[in-house]
A and B are shown apart, each in its own frame.
Chain A
Amino acid sequence: MTVLTDLTVAQIRDGVRDGAFSAREVAEAFNAAVAGAKALNAYIVETPDHALAAADAADKARGEGALKPLSGVPIGMKDLFATAGVQTTAASHMLEGFVPPYDATVAAKLFEAGAGMLGKLNLDQFAMGSSNETSYFGNVVSPWRRNDGGNAALAPGGSSGGSSAAIAARLCPAATGTDTGGSIRQPAAFTGISGIKPTYGRCSRWGIVAFASSLDQAGPMARDVRDCAILLETMSGFDPKDATSLDLPVPNWEKLLSADLTGKKIGIPKEYRVEGMPAEIEALWEKGIALVKDAGAEVVSVSLPHTSYALATYYIIAPAEASSNLARYDGVRYGLRDLPDGANLQDMYAATRAEGFGPEVKRRILIGTYVLSAGYYDAYYTKAQRVRALIARDFEQAFEQCDLLLTPTAPSAAFALGEKNADPLAMYLNDVFTVPASLAGLPAMSVPAGLDEKGLPLGLQIIGRPLDEQGVLDAGLAIEQRAGFAARPEQWW
């Protein structure tokens, strides 16, 4: 008998279309899985009725021969996307109870394509974190466990850790994510799933709670590359409400998928061989190189000389933009208000923001405020934007010699919850391989390619030229097919 929660997006779509099962059966199976997995804390809000309503609409549409691209497919929605009538918090106390009267454009597109919503997925507060330990609603626990007999609770990655954990645990077949410095790719790698951050501007940012506007980009997370292609097609496209959204046609990525990399040159950036990189990450990378060669690609060595400056650049630009974006949370128009006795307006702002933001968010706002303050703006912010130009130029020059880049996604497998949160800087270093592509606005994806010695998933990252999502997805598919990654977490929750 088919276990409906084990099906991919493509299998659900096709099965509903062919009458193998009804959309309602699928929605009920996932609703039950979500309800039975509280121990993972992946969902902040569950919306079983939304999933059922979309399923019933799908079953009706099938009868009328009017199926849509995602009819019958229930998904998880990162709680950074505004959803009409459903609480949207960005995992913060500041927005607890906030119920938007509108849908984010990406959410609206998914719903219009027939998708139902299983619930709002937990994340790092305001998408700031790499482990899901900064959520106001408690951290997400990865469904994975080390095979060493210890039962250490592991980080599902961040910030899209609710999305990654829910997909790996079969609490949804796919979910939305957002990526500012690696928030789709690193959690995908930690949980053995796939995720793609498209070219900056492919997906509208309208209605997504803003973190760092020149970096934030939505993308899909799913169990395989095909599903990522299917969802990305729906999520992408021009939106007049977002001035940075690209006015370009959306290719038919799924239909054009090809695991044949003949004629492709894949660059291996030598600067990504960082000091102290674990041998198993090195071995995974070598395995990836062998896999793409087997798929017909030619592998070349390339140089991205400013790689080592990417993290420092990111930790100036992202907090600077965050301090500006998060200035809107002042207790006046929406969200929390803390009004101490006898307080004036300024006191109210300060009290509200002290109460509503968690420690990591405050830390980043303060860093951002500092680097943008009089006397330091040029020394920090302008300097970082200049280095950012050099990082982007490195990629441009590398892409004169190759079509795609192949790197590890993260410098380690998932770490235990609590292991790194005493030192913010150690946590930041986890994004060392994902941040450079974000700074350059490039499409990049993570696909699972192996396990470490403790049985935890490891991911490989493919980075492409601007707008070459097809090339990225194709290389992802080639690795996926050849790596044969079939591991899944054993159910303990």
Chain B
Amino acid sequence: MSVDAATVRKIASLARIAATEAEVEAMVPELNNILGFIEQLSEVDTTGVEPLAAVIPNHLRLREDKVTDGGIREKVLQNAPQAEHGFFAVPKVIE
């Protein structure tokens, strides 16, 4: 399997990373090189093998359904690039 420039553009768009044409062109051989390397897994017979979900057996814990944290709006917003009126602000999304 190999990727071309169109595929790289599509992946970059899915990953929300802007890429110039030059960057896309440079990325094509790099990704193909890595994908070629990981292609070797196809030779491993994994018939009947369950995908590993957790390396160490551990059960999912549920906590009590009650508020344990909160009332820290200033802390939550303190690293925001732009905060207004106690909210995160983003460019307008609705005309």
A383 x B46 contact (CB < 8 A): yes
B11, B34, B40, B90: the one contacting A345 at CB < 8 Å is B90
* Interface of chain B residues 40 through 95 with chain A (CB within 8 A): 40-42, 44, 46, 49-56, 58, 60-61, 63, 72, 75, 78-82, 88, 90-93
**B22 beta carbon closer than 8 Å to chain A:** no
Which residues on the A side are within 8 Å of B17 (C-beta)? 350, 353-354, 357, 362, 365-366
| CB within 8 Å for A424 and B79 given contacts A312-B40, A390-B49 | no
| CB within 8 Å for A382 and B34 given contacts A200-B56, A309-B40, A312-B41 | no
B52 x A312 contact (CB < 8 A): no
**B6 beta carbon closer than 8 Å to chain A:** no
A369 x B38 contact (CB < 8 A): no
Most chain A CB neighbours (cut-off 10 Å) among B15, B19, B60: B15
B52 x A392 contact (CB < 8 A): yes
| CB within 8 Å for A363 and B49 given contacts A312-B38, A316-B38 | no
**A37 beta carbon closer than 8 Å to chain B:** no
A244 x B58 contact (CB < 8 A): yes
Cα distance A98–B79 when bound, in Å? 6
B30, B51, B60, B79: the one contacting A388 at CB < 8 Å is B51
A246, A345, A373, A385: the one contacting B58 at CB < 8 Å is A246
Q: Which of A115-123, A177-185, A330-338, A409-417 lies at the binding interface? A: A330-338
Smallest Cβ distance from B63 to chain A, in angstroms?
Answer: 7
Size band of the interface chain B makes with A? 35 or more
- A330: nearest chain-B partner, CB-CB: B16
**B8 beta carbon closer than 8 Å to chain A:** yes
Cα distance A57–B12 when bound, in Å? 51
A389 x B16 contact (CB < 8 A): no
Which residues on the A side are within 8 Å of B61 (C-beta)? 240, 243, 247
* Interface of chain A residues 58 through 114 with chain B (CB within 8 A): 98-102
Q: Is the interface of A mostly helix, strand, loop or mixed?
A: helix
B13, B50, B79: the one contacting A389 at CB < 8 Å is B50
A424 x B51 contact (CB < 8 A): no
Which residues on the B side are within 8 Å of A306 (C-beta)? 44
Which residues on the B side are within 8 Å of A274 (C-beta)? none
Cα distance A382–B19 when bound, in Å? 28
A199, A344, A424, A440: the one contacting B33 at CB < 8 Å is A424
Which residues on the B side are within 8 Å of A383 (C-beta)? 41-42, 46
- A361: nearest chain-B partner, CB-CB: B17
Smallest Cβ distance from B34 to chain A, in angstroms?
Answer: 6
A363 x B27 contact (CB < 8 A): yes
Smallest Cβ distance from B2 to chain A, in angstroms?
Answer: 11
A345 x B93 contact (CB < 8 A): yes
B16, B40, B46: the one contacting A349 at CB < 8 Å is B16
| CB within 8 Å for A336 and B81 given contacts A199-B56, A389-B49 | yes
Contact with B along A277-310 (1 / 0, CB 8 A): 0000000000000000000000000000010010
Which residues on the A side are within 8 Å of B13 (C-beta)? 350
**A201 beta carbon closer than 8 Å to chain B:** yes
Which residues on the A side are within 8 Å of B72 (C-beta)? 101
- A214: nearest chain-B partner, CB-CB: B55
| CB within 8 Å for A346 and B55 given contacts A316-B38, A380-B38, A390-B44 | no
Cα distance A373–B35 when bound, in Å? 14
Which residues on the B side are within 8 Å of A365 (C-beta)? 15, 17
**A466 beta carbon closer than 8 Å to chain B:** yes
Which residues on the A side are within 8 Å of B31 (C-beta)? 363, 366-367, 370
**A220 beta carbon closer than 8 Å to chain B:** no
Which residues on the B side are within 8 Å of A345 (C-beta)? 90-91, 93
Which residues on the A side are within 8 Å of B41 (C-beta)? 309, 312-313, 316, 380, 383-384, 387
Known A-B contacts: A327-B16, A337-B82, A389-B51. Give 9 more (CB < 8 A).
Answer: A102-B75, A309-B40, A344-B93, A345-B91, A363-B30, A383-B41, A388-B51, A392-B55, A424-B30
Interface residues, chain B, with chain A CB atoms under 8 Å away: 3, 7-8, 11-19, 27, 30-31, 33-35, 37-42, 44, 46, 49-56, 58, 60-61, 63, 72, 75, 78-82, 88, 90-93
17 contacts between A and B (CB under 8 A): A243-B61, A312-B37, A315-B38, A331-B81, A335-B81, A344-B93, A353-B16, A353-B18, A363-B34, A369-B15, A373-B11, A385-B51, A386-B49, A387-B49, A389-B49, A390-B49, A440-B55
